[in-house]
A = this chain, B = another copy of it.
Amino acid sequence: MDQNLLCPLCVQAGGQELWQDDQLRVIVADEPDYPGFLRVVWHRHVAEWSDLSDAERRHLDHCLLQVERAIRDCMQPDKINLASLGNVVPHLHWHVIPRFADDPHFPQPVWGQRQRDVALPEHAVRQGRALVLQQHLQQVLAGQ
């Protein structure tokens, strides 16, 4: 497996690992303002989505689809944000983010300017839903 010992996603999971197979892992993003924010990380050190083979990309896209669907089902967000950026850590990883009209950055991307504080009690409800999401997604991915 291509590894880069200077790359944080080669030497660590990058967050609480929900599920993995031999090619990728799904992790819980350490983003307290965004319950339900998950990341899909390709194990092997490649920078871009287009660096994958067709079969690898199909596998990644299928996993991303399951993650997006599970987030929609469990979190009931106003919008999904999907992104592969990697400017800081150029190791292929996708952000899958449930967005709500009252979340701290909406309608800006989560990397944009903060608009407001976390909405309570909605945030607490979403924290609970994120735990349900984790269980649900593990079952979905294990059952494929």
Residues in chain A within 8 A of chain B (CB atoms)? 47-50, 57, 61, 65, 68-69, 72, 79-88, 90, 99, 106-109, 111-113
Known contacts A57-B65, A80-B84; 6 additional CB pairs below 8 A are A48-B72, A49-B68, A49-B82, A61-B61, A83-B83, A83-B85
Task: Assess the A107–B87 pair: CB atoms within 8 A.
Answer: yes
Task: Assess the A50–B68 pair: CB atoms within 8 A.
Answer: yes
Task: Assess the A83–B86 pair: CB atoms within 8 A.
Answer: no
Contacts A48-B72, A61-B61, A65-B50 known; A108 to B87 CB distance under 8 Å? yes
Residue of B with least CB distance to A113 = B113
Of the A-B pairs whose beta carbons lie under 8 Å apart in the complex, a sample of 14, sorted by A's number, is: A47-B79, A49-B68, A49-B82, A50-B65, A50-B69, A50-B72, A80-B84, A81-B87, A85-B109, A87-B106, A87-B107, A111-B112, A112-B112, A113-B113
